[in-house]
Structure 1
Amino acid sequence: MLILQPISVLTFAMSSTRWLFTRAYTVEYLTVAPGRTIRVLIFKAPAKPDSNKKLRPLHVDIHPGAFIGGWPEDDAIFCDQLARETGAVVVSISYRYAPKHVFPAAHDDVDATIRYLQEHAEAKYGADPTLLTVSGFSAGGALALAAAQAEACRPASKTGIKASTTFYAACDLRLKPQEKPAPPNMPDDPAAFLVPLYDSYVEPVRSQNMENPRMNPILASVDQLPENMFVWVAGIDILVHEQTTFVERVKQDLAKDPKHEGRRVEIGVDDKGFHGYLNLPDSIIPQDKKQRAFAPAIQFIKETHLRYGFQW
């Protein structure tokens, strides 16, 4: 942790300089449960002159960090763009970290925050809890997919998650990181000595949760997943196999039952992308490369909004 956190702070500082003089978000602290407060960023684009007074869609974003760190600000560029281009009220949330807090602490925080927003977003932010979408990067992607398993977030519910966009999401935590099948183009990892730390959220309780779809969204039934899903895969990543397997299985399951007609599952792949590359500063990964992932993901959300009668 002493080695990893200074690297995280430096990366965060480099990518956050654009917010020093102009900030696209406000910071709030939501009391989501007795004794539990969650720090969030609220992104809300100014109303357009010709926009009507309808409630805006509600979007929840969950940041990366291997369940051991990170900040909501890690996704600020994506969240800002999403808010401006879709009109949604975007709430980027935090959660408790391992190794102090192990599974299901982070999951519980996400569920509690979404539950709070479903109850209060209309009054506080003018956001529609019945037009809820989510996104997540890496560990945040796992949390976004798992969030749909809450009763009020399932597709059958009026407040169900209408769409998710995930980027290099971890969706199968049954294997330790070092046991996951690496793609043939995977180079040696200079930070391999940190790998055991990445497992600290699930390792203490893995054996009791091998069949738990909340920990492992790859095991979830289609009734426990977001109604529509866009999955962005980095080709140089140990998570490639589980993500592509997940998408193919979900597509097959949806095709088996006519009641799922109209639900969408799409996948995008950057063969030269590596895990975490979209969260790096523009000086390292140019914005045009990030847009190859962000643009189709945001378009996917916009199309979901249109299906439910909202146009920005």
Structure 2
Amino acid sequence: MPDGFAAAPYETRIDPELARTVRLFRRVDHGDPHAVRKEAARRIRVARMAGLWVAEAEGVRVEDTVAPDGAGRTVPVRVYRPESGTAPHAAVLYLHGGAFISGDLDFEHPRCLEMCRETGAVVVAVDYRLAPEHPAPAGLDDCDLAYRWLLGAGARALSVDPERVAVAGTSAGGTLATGLCLRAREQGAPSPRLQMLLYPVLDDRLETPSALAFTDTPAWDSRNCAHMWEHYLGPGRRGEAPPYAVPARVGDLSGLPAAYVMTAEFDPLRDEGAAYARRLADAGVPTELHQFAGTFHGFDTLATATVSRRALAEQYAVLRGALR
């Protein structure tokens, strides 16, 4: 186990298969975005060399393209299209994680391949702009552009049914997914069928029990949360966020699309995800909340572990059900 983790009281409660992978997660100071990006690239290489998640491309056509807004601005996207099935297809707009400061179209390529193959839906991954070079709302603006394209010109080009679209996001991508749904509601735009929020980032106040307790958990700990929000919102802007940038601060959650929220037991983001799910349910939004025991942030990217396979199978089943 890495320094600082061995003495943690939850060490023996981490799922044994996941515990064997902890050494992959070097601690990196999220105050330095360049170091974070370098470490993210290293983790992808190591995980793939170790065979922890190597999804098969068979049955899926992959194309890098751009989503235009019709006014000269474009956002890079990667489109995953099933080679079988009947058109028009359902679709998932997928928003990667990375603490707002790292990630690209390769970041969760295996997940998108597998999601396309297992759900039969077209998956559109968005290469949104990153902080701190592009603080909020730049990333959300890019995701919103891609979403509107997918409902319009993209749907026609990809043989997608615009009435059967979901949005899914992991970690910081969960922030963007919730922000997209909130913005669509306020602007009267069509809502997705489902918002799938996987260990989402939602609250910049960092006051939940899990945020206060989990200072040295694998993959992600609360010490880096403050850096993450500072990069995303801009220096000194915590508590003064642009609209939809901090979903937990939004007062009215009524009228939002159905939600599936997944949290990990040993994740500083656990309690804010659960609290947001409860607020959605209280506002009348059909909501499922699933916490996976013995897991940490991003655990399902270690896809050979039994608990990860169970989580992924559940995600795909939920998407298939929502997009029928």
Using structure 2 for the length normalisation, give the TM-score.
0.77
Q: Per the alignment, do residues 82 and 2 of structure 1 end up closer, same or farther by CA in structure 2, a change over 3 Å counting?
A: closer
**Partner residue of 1:202 out of 233, 242, 266:** 233
**Partner residue of 1:290 out of 308, 311, 314:** 308
**Partner residue of 1:181 out of 209, 216, 221:** 209
**Partner residue of 2:286 out of 264, 272, 290:** 264
SS class of match (1:90):
strand
Distance 1:184 1:67 in 2: 21
Deviation at 1:62, TM superposition (A): 0.1
Task: Output one character per residue of 1:155-210: Cα deviation in whole Å (capped at 9) or x when no partner.
Answer: 976x321102111101222x1x5x5532687363588775553221124333433x
Q: Per the alignment, do residues 185 and 201 of structure 1 end up closer, same or farther by CA in structure 2, a change over 3 Å counting?
A: closer
Task: Output one character per residue of 1:253-312: Cα deviation in whole Å (capped at 9) or x when no partner.
Answer: 21xxxxxxxx521011112111122235x5xxx243322221112111111123xxxxxx
Q: Per the alignment, do residues 77 and 19 of structure 1 end up closer, same or farther by CA in structure 2, a change over 3 Å counting?
A: closer
Distance 2:251 2:243 in 1: 5
Matched, 1:217 2:254: no
Task: Output one character per residue of 1:60-117: Cα deviation in whole Å (capped at 9) or x when no partner.
Answer: 0000011101123322222222212222111011111111111111111111111122
**Partner residue of 1:13 out of 45, 66, 73:** 45
Matched, 1:61 2:89: no
Of all paired residues, the percent bearing the same amino acid is: 24
For 1:248, give the aligned amino acid: R
Q: Per the alignment, do residues 9 and 143 of structure 1 end up closer, same or farther by CA in structure 2, a change over 3 Å counting?
A: same
Kept in 1: contact 2:56–2:114 (CA 8 A): no
Task: Output one character per residue of 1:129-150: Cα deviation in whole Å (capped at 9) or x when no partner.
Answer: 1211010000001101111123
For 1:241, give the aligned amino acid: D
- C-alpha RMSD of matched pairs (Å): 2.9
Structure 1 regions of 5+ residues with no counterpart?
A: 255-262, 307-312
Kept in 2: contact 1:171–1:217 (CA 8 A): yes
Matched, 1:96 2:100: no
Matched, 1:78 2:111: yes
Matched, 1:301 2:323: no
SS class of match (1:208):
coil
Kept in 2: contact 1:56–1:87 (CA 8 A): yes
SS class of match (1:14):
helix
Distance 1:107 1:290 in 2: 28
Q: Per the alignment, do residues 122 and 30 of structure 1 end up closer, same or farther by CA in structure 2, a change over 3 Å counting?
A: closer
Q: Per the alignment, do residues 180 and 66 of structure 1 end up closer, same or farther by CA in structure 2, a change over 3 Å counting?
A: farther
Deviation at 1:36, TM superposition (A): 3.4
User: 1:101-112 alignment to 2 at 5 Å?
Assistant: 101-112=134-145
User: 1:115-264 alignment to 2 at 5 Å?
Assistant: 115-151=148-184, 159-173=190-204, 175=205, 180-182=208-210, 186=214, 188=216, 194-199=224-229, 200-204=231-235, 205-209=237-241, 214-218=244-248, 219=250, 221-223=252-254, 225=256, 227-254=257-284, 264=286
Distance 1:21 1:248 in 2: 37
SS class of match (2:262):
strand
Distance 2:286 2:299 in 1: 26
Distance 1:44 1:74 in 2: 18
Kept in 1: contact 2:149–2:155 (CA 8 A): no
Q: Which moved more, 1:124-133 or 1:76-85?
A: 76-85
For 2:274, give the aligned amino acid: T
Number of matched residues?
282
Structure 2 regions of 5+ residues with no counterpart?
A: 1-32
For 2:296, give the aligned amino acid: F
Q: Per the alignment, do residues 115 and 287 of structure 1 end up closer, same or farther by CA in structure 2, a change over 3 Å counting?
A: same
Deviation at 1:229, TM superposition (A): 0.8
Kept in 1: contact 2:111–2:301 (CA 8 A): no
SS class of match (2:45):
helix
SS class of match (2:195):
strand
